[in-house]
Amino acid sequence: MLILEAIIDGVRDIKDHFGRTLLQLLGIILGAGSIVATFSLSVAGKEASMKFYRVSGGVERIWIGNRTPNNITQDAKALASKGLTYADALALREQGKELDLVSPVSQGGMTVRYGAIEKKRDVMGVTPAYSPISFFKVEHGRFITDTDLQNASRVVVLGTTRAAEFFGSDNPIGKTIFIDGAGYLVVGVMEEKWFSFDQRRNALRWMNRQMYMPITTMMTRRGEPLETGKISFMHARMKDVKRHKEAVDEIKSILRRQHGTNDFEVFSRVANLARNESEGKMYDVTFMICGMISLLVGGIVIMNIQLASFNERVREIGTRKAVGATPAQIFFQMLTESVLVSVFGGFIGIFVGKLFTDAIATLTRNPAAITPGTAMNALIFAAGTGLIFGMYPAIRASRLNPIEALRTE
């Protein structure tokens, strides 16, 4: 019997027994729907993650900081080291061939006062490179410039949260704000940064809370000479993402030469991304297992219903055998029906899966997207389930004794 014949017969048989088919379908639809939903959510999760990286500073960014002194095996040089300094930043800028921007940051808690409002706040001493490296621009006025840096000018740029905190709805630009007793001219206000995974909390609100002054000003105020002035951390930007390993290695070797020891840490965002990906894969596997369990249940449903219907059709199978159907032909026919129902259910399941996905996305405020790959997966799994779980009933049918079958009421 040709495959086409089997399929046509199978379709007709499904139409004839639509009630029974519907029950079978239910199992597969839910199974396939689960797979679609879980895969879509994981894909969307990855996309959201990528978007976050782009919005919050791009993947080309490298963070360089002091190694925390928890290491038991630190050597004497490391113990005596003073950590990262401004000189290190200059060294990286001069010698780093893989890097195109270096942005040292010196952070400190200071007393900020304007009018009646006085608060203790973190202030960051930065260079002009901070803005491009962080994908963070001024909305009003200007950022710190090289001139500010050279002159160690007393200027300050505010994040939107800080601007609102001290100035309310007034324009802060041109006004003087007092930091640790000294007056600073407000020259700029940053744009408002927003990114949310769940449409509620702003994952980037910490950026809006910052205040920036020239790093040279910060060190002068602290009484530190520039070359040996301590910095809290550095950002560097690599020229080519594909060479992220080389960039990190270069930074490490330059700093090792500067310090004579490994008292620093270098974090590449790209490496972070890779680690997130492998975590993401773990979630994927979990989701996939859930989806497959659903499909397993669907398969068991199919098998049970095939068995039940098989009992109804014993007489018919007996007749087919009497006119000369071989066990193999009966087996093939029953299995084809089973696979057909599953594939049909798989198709419907994809649509149901879309409904699931949308519902879950709305409830958890997570993004979700269905790809053709996911749909294909669901279909293949559905067909496979029909194949495997249809086997047992098909084998039983093929082994029926025609005489007993024909005697059945």
Partner 1 sequence: MSAVFKFEHWRESKPETTIAAAPAKALIQLERIRKTYDSGENAVEALRGIDLQIDRGVFGAIIGPSGSGKSTLMHILGCLDTPSEGRYWLDGEDVATLSGKALARIRNQKLGFVFQTFNLLPRATIWKNVELPLLYAGIDADERRERALKALDRVGLANRAKHRPNELSGGQRQRVAIARALVNNPSLILADEPTGNLDQKTGSDIIRLFEEVAAGGQTIILVTHDPGIARRTQRRIKIVDGLIVDGEDEE
Q: Which residues bind partner 1 (CB under 8 A)?
A: 1, 5, 12-13, 16, 315-316, 318-329, 402-403, 406
Please, which residue, 79 or 403, has the CB nearer to partner 1? 403
Whole-angstrom distance, CA of residue 269 vs CA of residue 277: 12
| Contact indicator for 320, 60 with CB cutoff of 8 Å | no
| Contact indicator for 262, 67 with CB cutoff of 8 Å | yes
Please, which residue, 56 or 329, has the CB nearer to partner 1? 329
Cβ count within 10 A of residue 131? 20
Please, which residue, 201 or 315, has the CB nearer to partner 1? 315
Please, which residue, 238 or 340, has the CB nearer to partner 1? 340
What DSSP character marks residue 180? T
**How far apart are CB 1 and partner 1 at their closest, in Å?**
6
**How far apart are CB 337 and partner 1 at their closest, in Å?**
13
Whole-angstrom distance, CA of residue 48 vs CA of residue 280: 12
**How far apart are CB 34 and partner 1 at their closest, in Å?**
33
Is residue 140 helix, strand or coil?
Answer: strand
Element of type H or E holding 62: strand 61-66
**How far apart are CB 322 and partner 1 at their closest, in Å?**
5
- Phi and psi at 303, nearest 5°, equal -60, -45
**How far apart are CB 324 and partner 1 at their closest, in Å?**
2
Whole-angstrom distance, CA of residue 172 vs CA of residue 174: 6
Please, which residue, 57 or 318, has the CB nearer to partner 1? 318
Please, which residue, 72 or 323, has the CB nearer to partner 1? 323
Whole-angstrom distance, CA of residue 309 vs CA of residue 365: 43
**How far apart are CB 372 and partner 1 at their closest, in Å?**
35
Whole-angstrom distance, CA of residue 367 vs CA of residue 102: 35
Please, which residue, 222 or 315, has the CB nearer to partner 1? 315
Please, which residue, 4 or 116, has the CB nearer to partner 1? 4
**How far apart are CB 370 and partner 1 at their closest, in Å?**
37
**How far apart are CB 12 and partner 1 at their closest, in Å?**
7
| Contact indicator for 242, 268 with CB cutoff of 8 Å | no
CA torsion sign for 186, 158, 123, 148 is negative
- Give the list of residues 6+ apart from residue 193 with CB closer than 8 angstroms, or none: 55, 56, 136, 202, 204, 205, 207, 208
Maximum CA extent, the chain: 106
**Among candidates 223, 257, 250, which has minimal Cα distance to 102?**
250
